[in-house]
Amino acid sequence: MKKTLLAALIMGVVAAPAMANMQLAQKYACTACHAVDKKLVGPAYKDVAKKYAGDKGAEAKLIAKVKNGGSGVWGPVPMTPHPSIPDADLKALVKWVLSQK
């Protein structure tokens, strides 16, 4: 009984980060314009990750971009600003986007 509980706990901890970030993306309606592997209104998160692979400044740059919105990198359509998302959540979202493969 104890072992099963422990195993469930460990699995929960391992599976939680990816889930939590998908839930964040849904919570903040990023998923209205973005999907992981196909272009919707905005670029696929996989394409974003590919574009910034190896770019050390990407995390800070993209956090600011999501917060302030803007256009011109992927096309003329602007992303809306998201000024009310807490920085910790913004950081988690951007890290998650950049970790897509």
| Cβ atoms 28, 80 nearer than 8 A | no
Smaller CB distance to ligand HEC: residue 9 or 32? 32
- Work out how close the CB of 40 gets to ligand HEC at its nearest, in angstroms, rounded to a whole number: 8
- Applying CB under 6 A, the span of 1-9, 10-18, 29-37 interacting with ligand HEC comes to 29-37
Rounded CA separation 91/85 (Å)? 10
Angle at 79 between CA 60 and CA 51, to 5 degrees: 50
Name the site residues for ligand HEC (rule: CB under 6 A): 28-30, 32-34, 41-43, 48, 62, 65-66, 70-75, 77, 79-80, 82, 85, 93-94, 97
